[in-house]
Amino acid sequence: MRITCPHCRSRLATRTSKRPIPALVLVYAQCTNLDCGWGGKMQLEFATTTAPSRQPNPDVCIPIDPGLRRWVLEQIKD
């Protein structure tokens, strides 16, 4: 995944990251364009599950994508 600076659109470099909960990553980034120099924090959140894990972690609660949910419910009915 390539993330670019919101100001000059140059590539951002990750300086550090933290994971306060399993479904959220805080990324501290810096613009690689020395003339710009922007730095900031991004939040990367796992929004929905599109394919269930074969090794689920009981501490992780990521909602099932509505399309996958419908498909699973249809499979159960048959």
Enumerate the CATH 2.20.25 domain ranges in the chain, comma separated: 1-46
The pLDDT, as a whole number, for residue 78 is: 64
Give the model confidence (pLDDT) of 17-66 as tens digits: 999 999 999 999 999 999 999 999 999 999 999 988 999 999 999 998 98
The third-level CATH classification (topology) of the domain covering 1-46 is: N-terminal domain of TfIIb (2.20.25)
Q: Which two tokens stand for residue 25?
A: 């990553």
Kind and range of the H or E run holding 27: strand 24-31
pTM of the complete model beyond 0.85: no
Question: Of 29, 22, 27, which is closest to residue 49 (Cα–Cα)?
Answer: 22
Residue with tokens 């900031």: 40
Q: What is the residue type of 71?
A: W
Sign of CA dihedral 30, 3, 53, 61: positive
